[in-house]
């Protein structure tokens, strides 16, 4: 009887379905704590994602078909700039109030021009 590789070692595939999404969540939590001193809880993460989906956040720029920069303000928290992955529907990272390369502040005039 022929046995496939995965039938011999089933544990190699187990639990790997959403590992990338899990990594993105952990990474964004670390960056929120590091850059804004905020605990990015599941509730806060959901509020940010909902604000982006409802277009309540301000689109700063689209980086690719799947990634975009958003300026989000949730009541009780400072404004944050986040990178959002629309395919995974997840926050990739939390940035300082600077552009991707850290060269210049994102000004209110730039945001108004883009909207």
Torsional sign, CA 104, 62, 69, 16: negative
Classified as helix, coil or strand, 77 is coil
Domain boundaries, position 94: 16-114
DSSP one-letter string for 42-75: HHHHHHHHHHHHTT-SEEEEE-SSSEEEEEE--T
Q: Tens of pLDDT along 64-91?
A: 999 999 999 999 999 999 999 999 999 9
Per-residue model confidence (pLDDT) at position 102: 45
- Beta pairing, strands 90-95 & 80-85: antiparallel
69 is a domain residue: yes
Residue 107 counted as domain residue: yes
pLDDT in tens, 25-69: 999 999 999 999 999 999 999 999 999 999 999 999 999 999 999
Token representation of residue 84: 């959002």
Residue 21 lies in a domain: yes
Strands ordered across the beta sheet of 67-72: 58-62, 67-72, 80-85, 90-95
Task: Evaluate whether residue 59 is within a structural domain.
Answer: yes
Confidence at residue 73, expressed as pLDDT on a 0 to 100 scale: 93
How many domains is the chain partitioned into structurally? 1
């Amino acid at each position: 009887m022929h046995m496939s590789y995965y039938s011999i070692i089933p544990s190699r595939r187990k639990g790997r379905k959403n590992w990338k999404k899990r990594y993105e969540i952990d990474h964004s939590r670390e960056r929120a704590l590091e850059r804004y001193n905020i605990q990015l809880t599941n509730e806060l993460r959901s509020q940010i994602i909902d604000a982006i989906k409802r277009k309540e956040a301000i689109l700063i720029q689209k980086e690719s078909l799947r990634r975009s920069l958003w300026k989000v303000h949730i009541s009780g928290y400072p404004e944050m700039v986040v990178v959002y992955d629309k395919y995974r529907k997840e926050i990739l990272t939390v940035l300082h109030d600077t552009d991707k390369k850290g060269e210049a502040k994102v000004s209110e005039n730039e945001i108004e021009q883009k909207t």
